[in-house]
Amino acid sequence: MNTHELVSEIAQRLPYLRRADVQAVMDVLIERLHAELTKPRGQVRLTGIGKLYLETHTLKASGIIRQQLATRDGQVPTLLVRHVYRFTPSEGLLTALKKGTTDDA
């Protein structure tokens, strides 16, 4: 599902809202999620879905990584920053997945 499909679905279920209003709400939602996920230790918890968060790790560049960076970029940084995106599903979502009750539309 993409944003356009979600806006269409919401507009169909809530006919008293104009599609432009639904899109405006989605824009604010996406803006807020983006802002939260770019904060240090930022996380988003959505009831019934789960938790989405970003971990940032600082690593020392050494060995083969250092050699590959030198070959590729001509530079050899001492430290690298790695971003790890994580999602922890809610109990309800896990239960639905185990029962096979999700929509595969």
- At residue 27, the 3 state secondary structure works out as helix
* Distance from C-alpha of 22 to C-alpha of 19, rounded to nearest angstrom: 5
Partners of 43 in beta bridges: 53
* Distance from C-alpha of 100 to C-alpha of 96, rounded to nearest angstrom: 6
Predicted confidence at residue 105, as pLDDT, reads 47
pLDDT over 80 (residue 44): yes
Q: Which residue has the higher pLDDT, 101 or 4?
A: 4
Do 51 and 45 touch, CB atoms closer than 8 A? yes
Across 57-63, average pLDDT: 82
Across 4-29, average pLDDT: 95
What counts of helices (H) and strands (E) characterise the chain? 4, 3
**pTM of the entire structure?**
0.69
Across 37-64, average pLDDT: 88
- At residue 66, the 3 state secondary structure works out as helix
Partners of 45 in beta bridges: 51
